[in-house]
Structure 1
Amino acid sequence: MQNIPSVDLSDFLSEDPKRKKKFVDAIGKAYEEIGFVALKGHFLSDELTENLYKEVKAFFNLPEEQKKKYEIQGLAGQRGYTSFGKESAKGFKDADLKEFWHFGQDTKFNKEIKDPYPENVEVKEVPGFNTVGKTTYQQLEKTAIYVLRALAVYLGLEETYFDHYVIGGNSILRPIHYPPIIGEPKGAVRAAEHGDINLITLLMGASASGLEVKNKAGEWIPVTALPEQLVVNVGDMLQRLTNNKLRSTIHRVVNPPREEWGNSRYSIPFFTHPKSEMSLNCLEICIDENNPKAYDDITAGEYLNERLRELGLLK
């Protein structure tokens, strides 16, 4: 099985300039070529990961009528529960075979957040789900900040270029449940091929295989990460900002073999979104005569709303 490049964040966090440069060069090259890396040395502990999966499974095991109490109308799925069959990938009519939950910034306790984000939805039946979700959110946001600092260095920007936009930004932690497949799914898959909307995505190891990425030759490569690794990929916002220098690679979650249709799959990505006012205008340092400006000017908030409408989550 082919796999994606592996990098260690502790190299970047070290005080050794050679180790730091090694990380910057490795992740930059990987993001130019395939858009994915397997990251170890992050801030998510094994204990926290184990607790999160336990609480996530407890929530999705609730009866449907209880879960639907947390599907809040008018939020375009930004917080709380989104039931099965509501989201489809851009360009696809068939809905993905999944249900999911969204945690966002904790506006009750972080008074520095100025953007008008919705408050998180609290699950009464599984109180540990709320607590462990918020803690995981904080640790993944911290990890994302350092990955983006490395990319800022790689691009020739000031190291903390992304900090202002990402700290207190519109990031989302999304626990996903792909239920057992009942009956022939026809054209639907667990997650149709797509690029992520955001700057970068941090994905905790899924409970089962299925994730595949498309390489430059158009081949689908199964992605596996070791238990201590996060899969971290470039999103469309970062591709747009860097004028296609860094690649938002198309990926998908395929249906399992028929003999495994009766098994659930769980996956927990952290979508790193900036504040809505961040400009996604192509960076001047990424534009030259061989790479003319490829995108119109837009803000992160405008682009997010555009994509949510395409996904059917925003009318």
Structure 2
Amino acid sequence: MPSTVLPTIPHYVPASPTQEPLEYADLTVIDLSKVDTLEGRTKLAAQLRDAMLTHGFFYVINHGLSQAQNERIFDIADVPFSGVSDEEKKMYAGDIKATGSYEGYKLRQYWHINGGVRDQIEHYNINRDVTKKQHPQAVQSLIPEIEAFAKYNHLQILHPLLRLFALGLELPEETFVNIHGYDAVGDSFVRFMKYYPRSEEDETKTKNVWLKGHTDFGSVSILWSQPVASLQILSSDGKWQYIKHLENALVVNAGDALEFLSGGFYKGTIHRVIQPPPDQQGYTRLGVFYFGVPDDDVKLVPFDESPVLQRVGIQRRFEDADAPTTAAWHAARTSAYGQSDLKVKEKGVEEEIINGVVVKHWN
């Protein structure tokens, strides 16, 4: 993060952690301070592989940024929402369906949730190449910090994790790093995301679901933990479990691209967002993310030279010859999400076809 005098911005005060007795997933904790030695990486890779085969989510601690730096990035994250008027937001809204890109704002009520109810979620998305788009006036002075944050996430968090994912498949450590270049053409990006409280009528119509169960589009999703208890994962026994907030920790999961590249070994993890528990209702939920996405020209075929895949087999969702590039897959899923006419195929599961691939949504 830049060490010069920083612009003064309001301090964002989140909700206090919930005191409700929720059912939390028992997630593995990956201590990133241990990646500096081969022995440490080997042990962490085994932990990570086990975490991915059980819950599909894990925590990361000791990632190198302090609690003060954590609080600063949440202060920054709130500015695109509280410091920018609705009229100015419209000027910087992305043409998501046409471009297949989230860059800029996704405004509220863009996605259809259920029962005619549209979302109450805003997010502001910034490519790691922060010069790709113009930014609202209130955000402009913060761009150096956002750029530094993106670079830190990419090089100091994403890349070390990608090495662990590769080791878990008994591949050379740099296998996935080599297709997630920081200076390559690609869509890895920072997202600031704000959920706003909804009406009782909307809660009833959607059965309290704010964002349907889904998998992410890229390879690795990094969520900076925040206290509002709304994120749930679908466990192997079909139950939804909450993700517990850990101070200055990261919550990490795999997305579609890593599932394709790993031949189904690391599955895209199913998760959703629901209304917070009673003692947190009425608060906004501010999120900070870094989404790792392979380079645009990467064809999403399995690394079938993996000794692990040779032992356990490859689970394909399409033939290698039909595999999309990262750019094609990411754009297609982005364009379709929340806009498609989903078909109910089984109780609680809806489907759509994207690039010839069945994509499910859990409701």
TM bucket, shorter chain: 0.7 to 0.9
**SS of residue matched to 2:313:** coil
Aligned position for 1:111: none
TM-score by length of 2: 0.76
Q: Quick check: 1:69 aligned with 2:82?
A: no
State which of 131, 137, 148 in structure 2 corresponds to 1:124: 137
Q: Note closer, same or farther for the CA distance 1:182–1:64 as it changes in structure 2 (3 Å cut).
A: farther
**SS of residue matched to 1:103:** strand
CA deviation after TM superposition for structure 1 residue 95, in Å:
3.8
CA deviation after TM superposition for structure 1 residue 92, in Å:
9.5
Q: Quick check: 1:300 aligned with 2:292?
A: no
Q: Note closer, same or farther for the CA distance 1:65–1:258 as it changes in structure 2 (3 Å cut).
A: farther
Q: Quick check: 1:41 aligned with 2:43?
A: no
Code of the residue aligned with 1:98 in structure 2: it is I
Aligned position for 2:195: 178
Q: For the Cα contact (< 8 Å) 1:195–1:249, is it kept in 2?
A: yes
Q: What count of residue pairs does the alignment treat as equivalent?
A: 302
Per-residue CA deviation, residues 240-279 of structure 1 (Å, 9 max, x unaligned), is 2212211222101111246644211111121100111112
Q: Note closer, same or farther for the CA distance 1:3–1:106 as it changes in structure 2 (3 Å cut).
A: same
- Give unmatched runs, 5+ long, in structure 2: 1-23, 341-363
Q: Quick check: 1:83 aligned with 2:107?
A: yes
CA deviation after TM superposition for structure 1 residue 237, in Å:
1.1
Aligned position for 2:228: 208
Deviating above 6 A after TM superposition, structure 1's stretches of 4 or more consecutive aligned residues are none
Code of the residue aligned with 2:104 in structure 1: it is G
Aligned position for 2:350: none
State which of 176, 194, 199 in structure 1 corresponds to 2:219: 199
Aligned position for 1:157: 171
**SS of residue matched to 2:58:** strand
Q: Note closer, same or farther for the CA distance 1:203–1:151 as it changes in structure 2 (3 Å cut).
A: same
Q: For the Cα contact (< 8 Å) 1:240–1:281, is it kept in 2?
A: yes
Code of the residue aligned with 1:171 in structure 2: it is S
**SS of residue matched to 1:301:** helix
Q: Note closer, same or farther for the CA distance 1:92–1:306 as it changes in structure 2 (3 Å cut).
A: farther
Per-residue CA deviation, residues 87-110 of structure 1 (Å, 9 max, x unaligned), is 357x997543311010102265xx
Code of the residue aligned with 2:244 in structure 1: it is T
Code of the residue aligned with 1:7 in structure 2: it is I
Distance 1:11 1:289 in 2: 28
Per-residue CA deviation, residues 50-70 of structure 1 (Å, 9 max, x unaligned), is 112112223211331122221
- Give unmatched runs, 5+ long, in structure 1: 109-118
Aligned position for 1:114: none
Q: Note closer, same or farther for the CA distance 1:275–1:302 as it changes in structure 2 (3 Å cut).
A: same
TM-score by length of 1: 0.86
CA deviation after TM superposition for structure 1 residue 18, in Å:
3.0
Distance 1:7 1:253 in 2: 24
Q: Note closer, same or farther for the CA distance 1:292–1:136 as it changes in structure 2 (3 Å cut).
A: closer
**Identity between Structure 1 and Structure 2 (%):** 23
